[in-house]
Amino acid sequence: MAAESVRPYHRLRVWYRPMRGRDPGEPHRAATPLELLFDLCFVVAVGRAAAELHHAVAENHAADGVVGFLLVFFAIWWAWLNFTWFASAFDTDDVPYRIATFVQIGGGLVLAAGVASAFEGDFTIIVIGYVVMRLALVGQWLRAAAGDPRIRPTALRFALGIALVQAGWVARLAVPEGWLIPSFLVLAAAEMLVPIWAERASAGTTWHAHHIAERYGLFTIIVLGEAVISGTAAVQEGFETGEHTGSLVSLAVAGLAIMFAMWWLYFDQPAHRRLTSFWTTFAWGYGHLLIFASAAAVGAGLEVAVDHVTEHAALSDAAAGMAVTVPVAVFLLSVWLMHIGPRNECRPIAVGFPAAAVLTIAASFVPAPVHVTAGILVALVATVVIATHGEPDPTAAPAS
């Protein structure tokens, strides 16, 4: 009888749970299948942004391509980031939560569909998709405000701030062309200030450090996958045409090695130990824009290198090499800043990353074919891996 009386209540709780902050010390907290599905759908947007960057650089429009890539990638990254941190604190996994996430996924796919037109200066489609995702999150914050009195001021600030900024993005569609970049910078800054303003209103949200570190790590793997795709394209191009096969295979092997070294360097230090204070956490979370964007750009750069080897891109060896070396250098510096932090000590882990970043850029100007430059790059990043592996974590507490 007791078991039967529990079943209807259990079904009710599966359909709906009050949205309250989760325990930040909850053991064995891992990414959920819904979060993995959300990330999978964002692969489409990341891939499209990288593809457009590849085409722009290969056509010798690198400056326009980089600007367009950064504008588009900010929208992808910021929507993903806000979903991730909210889920870490308030994931109820009930039906309303899943439906709201489904709406956000739909908005993400609309955003992906608008990437190509955004690179041409028309942001209408990408704004529609972005605003859909953000307004769905407004609904989630209002639900959190109703369900958890402890963080109600914070949740209401989030809802208000996000809604106002979305109105700004819609209004931006009507501004003159000369104001597109300045207005973007203003609205992007407003987006990034909303969480800082909101979290100060109460005790703050109860995100889970290990869960956040895992979620960021999973997205890093996703963007690194662009390098794998590029390496596959290089091998396929070589076997299908029967030309430049040796150079393309060398480039593919180098791309795979670079990707593996980037993965190694990112995950070699425990990320959750960086989330120790309010400002450190914000810097770590926001700084990943550079890590994610540079990792995705490496894949685009390898595609440019393939075009250069197959004589489909009118670029010099140095320009083709920089398409790969610059994003790798940015990745090295970003991982150094986010996961290690500058130190004045003369240890490999303290000086290896920035030194390798400088040498990486210098490798672009070596008078050699681009696949040779890629080989030099492999040697540099491999040296950093070897030199820093096994170094103590600078953020770890000393042993007692």
Of 5 and 240, the structure prediction assigns the larger pLDDT to 240
Tokens of residue 271, six digits: 């990320």
Ranking 4-13, 96-105, 224-233 by mean pLDDT, the lowest is 4-13
C-alpha–C-alpha distance, residues 313 and 325, integer Å: 17
pLDDT, average across residues 84-109: 95
Confidence category of residue 4, pLDDT binned at 50, 70, 90: very low
DSSP symbols for 23-37: PTT-TT----HHHHH
Query: Quick one: 106 exposed, middle or buried, by C-beta within 10 A (0-12, 13-18, 19+)?
Result: middle
Cβ neighbors of 6 (< 8 A, separation 6 or more) are none
DSSP symbols for 318-356: HHHHHHHHHHHHHHHHHHIIIII---SS--HHHHHHHHH
202-211 burial string, b = 16+ CB within 10 Å, else e? bebbbbbbbb
Report how far apart the first and last C-alpha atoms of the chain are (Å, whole number): 54
Q: Are 339 and 271 in contact (CB under 8 A)?
A: yes
CB atoms within 10 A of CB 278: 11
Predicted pLDDT at 393: 54
C-alpha–C-alpha distance, residues 151 and 316, integer Å: 56
Per-residue model confidence as pLDDT tens digits over 201-253: 888 899 999 999 999 999 999 899 877 887 777 677 667 777 778 888 888 88
Q: Are 158 and 195 in contact (CB under 8 A)?
A: yes
Ranking 113-117, 218-222, 240-244, 298-302 by mean pLDDT, the lowest is 240-244
Tokens of residue 244, six digits: 């430049």
pLDDT, average across residues 360-384: 86
Of 241 and 199, the structure prediction assigns the larger pLDDT to 199
The values of phi and psi at residue 285, to 5°, are: -65, -45
pLDDT, average across residues 271-300: 90
Per-residue model confidence as pLDDT tens digits over 35-68: 999 998 888 899 999 999 999 999 989 999 999 9
Q: Is residue 183 scored above 60 in pLDDT?
A: yes
DSSP type of residue 179: G
The number of helices, as runs of H, and strands, as runs of E, in the chain is 14, 0
Structural domains of the chain, with CATH: 31-199 (no CATH), 209-388 (1.20.1410)
